[in-house]
Amino acid sequence: MQEKDIAFLDSLIRRVPDFPKKGILFYDISTLLKDAKGFSLAIDLIAEKLVENINLDKITKFLSIESRGFIFGAALAYRFKKGLVIVRKEGKLPAETISYSYGLEYGVATVEMHVDAIENGDILVIVDDLLATGGTALATLKLAEDLGGQVLACAFLIELEKLGGRKKLEEKGVKIISVLKY
């Protein structure tokens, strides 16, 4: 991974102050996603960091978190020929689910996945676009473990270092992969 690649990706991300509420700086990746070179590079860099940091032969599935995590999780699952599990907001899945509620940096949320999405012994990577406080990833980790899975790593395009999500996940024994750090 080269500095020019990081600078290029950074240049494609729109900053939106005071969204979704006053005091929050939102990193809008839609401007990166619409750029073919930028989107491809983002997937390539996340994949490169995964290859460097974990044994992908052990991984059985990628867990992608609604909604922007679906984009990256699907691309990575395809690239590495692994299964894909979607983790959704409450009330969005049609079959029997398991759920977990947690605090966000700006509120409370609940995530769910189907009870049959993970098999006992699955080795997993959680994927989302951004790591902030770690609440969503920790909730997803809890769901995965409750269903008998083991999360080996979490992969993010962006990490907001000052919000401490990395430390919380590493305390659970999870390796953190991130490309852009703010």
Q: Comparing C-alpha atoms, which of 54, 13, 48, 46 is closest to residue 31?
A: 13
In the set 68, 88, 112, 166, the catalytic residue is 68
Q: What is the DSSP string of 48-77?
A: HHHHHHS-TTT--EEEEETTHHHHHHHHHH
Q: Is-catalytic flag, 79?
A: no
Q: Comparing C-alpha atoms, which of 16, 15, 76, 84 is closest to residue 42?
A: 76
| SS3 at position 176 | strand
Q: Is-catalytic flag, 68?
A: yes
For the chain, percent helix, then strand, then coil, each to nearest 5?
35, 35, 30
Q: Round to whole Å and give the CA distance between 134 and 48.
A: 22
In the set 48, 66, 79, 105, the catalytic residue is 105
**Residue for token pair 């996940």:** 169
Q: Which two tokens stand for residue 26?
A: 């939102």
CB contact at 8 A, 101 and 109: yes
CB contact at 8 A, 46 and 72: yes
DSSP state of 24: -
Any idea which residues carry the catalytic annotation? 68, 105
